[in-house]
A and B are shown apart, each in its own frame.
Chain A
Amino acid sequence: MDSGEVEGRTLAAGSATGRVLRLDEPLSLWGGMDPATGRIIDRRHPQAGQSLAGRVVVMPAGRGSSSSSSVLAEAIRAGTAPAALVLREADPILALGALVASELYDRRMPVVVIDERAHAAIRAGDEVVVRAGPRGASVRGPRGSATPRG
């Protein structure tokens, strides 16, 4: 797609704009992110110490504990959550955290899945717009950039 926009699947609806933080490995939010600060506390994670708050977090998949739904919902409530999650594989645990937060607090954090090539093309640090609705999702990069190339 030459408009710098790729289409994907909506796991949780919402729309957001933010700078991309790429995670090199899947992260379990439970035991991996402190919902009070949004920081990655899993010391074995390559991006340990970085904050997810307000970022469009691009990661391969979720991982590990089934308590990650609660950690995500709590982070959304506390305002420390990512602006959006862009995954390569559907993750029901993360989708659920976003879904419950929208039920409880009426705050919508989009969770989307895009294909592997488009996922790999999103550049760290770029400002992107994520839109996720009932009929599908899109991730749009800055004009003229290579992010993302569909």
Chain B
Amino acid sequence: MPLELSARDRAMLDGDAGEGPRIAMRIVASMAEVLDADHLIDVASAHVDGCLYQGQASLDFAERLARAGARVSIPTTLNVGGVDLLHPGLYRGDPDRAARSRRLMGLYEGMGCRPTWTCAPYQLPDRPSFGQHVAWAESNAIVFANSVLGARTDRYGDFIDICAAITGRAPAAGLHLDANRAGGILFRLSSVPGRLLSEDILYPLLGHLIGAESGSLIPVIDGLPPTTTEDQLKALGAAAASSGSVGLFHAVGVTPEAGSLEQAFAGRVPRREVTVTPALMAEIRDGLSTTTGRIDAVSVGTPHFSLDEFGALTPLIERTAINPEVDFYVSTSRAILAEVERMGWMSAYRRAGIQIVTDTCTYIAPILSPSTRVVMTNSGKWAYYAPGNIGVEVVLGSLAECVRSAAEGRVWRDDALWRG
């Protein structure tokens, strides 16, 4: 089907709105052709991931847009950058790379994006509403927007994100369309006991399985309790978008497009079914953990720690003394950090010697001490990427297991959790 552009789209393409929109529209229109879209749609907001420095190409692209005078035309949030601007002393890497990261972050801010510096824009006020079309990048944010909020975004990445923000347009394709949002593969949780279902650690494990098994099918989960929290769904989606390409999942009775199994599958029969068992979950936990024994550090907050997660961690660290040999990091956004300060919780973190990281993440920026070899995390996404990105061994465990292990200096497991 040929792509049909509106008069306004064509004017942008012809440069009537200036050089910035011309470049941006050319890229949006090319992507529409790749995606077989027959027209473009308006998007209400954008979340831009291109502000994370990946090399000279990141800077060259942003500089070309900025030089052309490009400005965003819709509300646009920014993903993490390569440095923690609030705590610059945490950066242990090449100062030249830090300077380039900073410069890139400045270029995106200069184009009118909000300096939110978070991979969890859904924790900020003014999040997208049900059914609203948006152009979000960052795989975990995409899956959260589609699945938990019921907003509509395709799997946008670097470059197209800022082009959608500049033009306010995106291809009518992928997860924007009803036809592509119906379930295809069913994950049954009937064999998972209630206690494990209520534990946060189940969710990244389940997400990892779903990502690995779903391929291009939309996963549907049957059996999550209606009390499932947004943070649990965040962890699930982030893990599923790391081990696979999941941009949308449905959880029957939990997420907004899955009031029933029939609704989630749009009346069709699942192409595949997977039965989830506690043994399978423990196997994934062990598969994501590359070592056992002594740990050097704990890192939580991937995706960025929410206020509720701080609410859960604060009492744990108040009653457990962290081993001084173990570095403990919590990654979050500057917006959530401001809330934590307002709640008066920061003193507990300072007392415990816990380092809060904002604007970036511990597996993206060189923040961990060079002597760090083994890191424990409660994040499936962190466990998935950190060994390749920063060359550490990882152990995956629940938040409580992370804190107790940080106290003991070695991996501590709550075995009762895993007995099925």
Interface positions of A (Cβ within 8 A of B) = 11-12, 26, 28, 30-32, 35, 41-44, 61-71, 73-74, 76-78, 89-90, 92-93, 95-97, 99-101, 103-105
Given contacts A69-B158, A99-B27, contact A42 B388 (CB under 8 A): yes
Interface positions of B (Cβ within 8 A of A) = 23, 26-27, 30-31, 34-35, 49-50, 52, 54-58, 60-61, 64, 137-139, 142, 154-161, 174, 216, 241-245, 384-385, 387-389
Contact residue among B34, B139, B384, B387 (Cβ-Cβ distance under 8 Å from A90): B34
Given contacts A70-B50, A93-B157, contact A43 B388 (CB under 8 A): yes
Q: Chain A contacts of B55 at CB under 8 A?
A: 35, 70-71, 74, 77-78
A104, B56: Cα distance in complex, Å: 11
CB distance from A114 to the nearest CB of B (A): 15
Q: Chain B contacts of A12 at CB under 8 A?
A: 34
Q: Which of A31, A44, A68 has the most CB of B within 10 A?
A: A31
A32, B57: Cα distance in complex, Å: 18
Binding site secondary structure of chain B? helix
A65, B158: Cα distance in complex, Å: 10
Asked if residues B34 and A11 are in contact (CB atoms below 8 Å), the reply is yes
Q: Besides the contacts A31-B389, A62-B245, A105-B60, what 11 more A-B pairs have beta carbons closer than 8 Å?
A: A31-B384, A63-B245, A67-B54, A69-B158, A71-B54, A93-B155, A96-B27, A97-B159, A101-B57, A103-B27, A104-B57
Q: Chain B contacts of A69 at CB under 8 A?
A: 157-160
Contact residue among B52, B139, B160, B387 (Cβ-Cβ distance under 8 Å from A96): B160
Q: Chain A contacts of B161 at CB under 8 A?
A: 66
Q: Chain B contacts of A92 at CB under 8 A?
A: 31, 34-35, 154-155, 157, 160, 174
Q: Could you pull out 16 A-B pairs where Cβ atoms are within 8 angstroms?
A: A31-B389, A43-B388, A61-B245, A64-B243, A65-B157, A66-B155, A67-B157, A70-B50, A74-B56, A77-B60, A78-B55, A92-B154, A96-B34, A99-B31, A101-B57, A104-B60
Q: Chain B contacts of A95 at CB under 8 A?
A: 31, 34
Q: Chain A contacts of B159 at CB under 8 A?
A: 69-70, 73, 96-97, 100
Asked if residues A31 and B385 are in contact (CB atoms below 8 Å), the reply is yes
Asked if residues B30 and A66 are in contact (CB atoms below 8 Å), the reply is no
Asked if residues B58 and A74 are in contact (CB atoms below 8 Å), the reply is yes
A99, B31: Cα distance in complex, Å: 9
Q: Chain B contacts of A62 at CB under 8 A?
A: 245
A21, B241: Cα distance in complex, Å: 25
A104, B242: Cα distance in complex, Å: 29
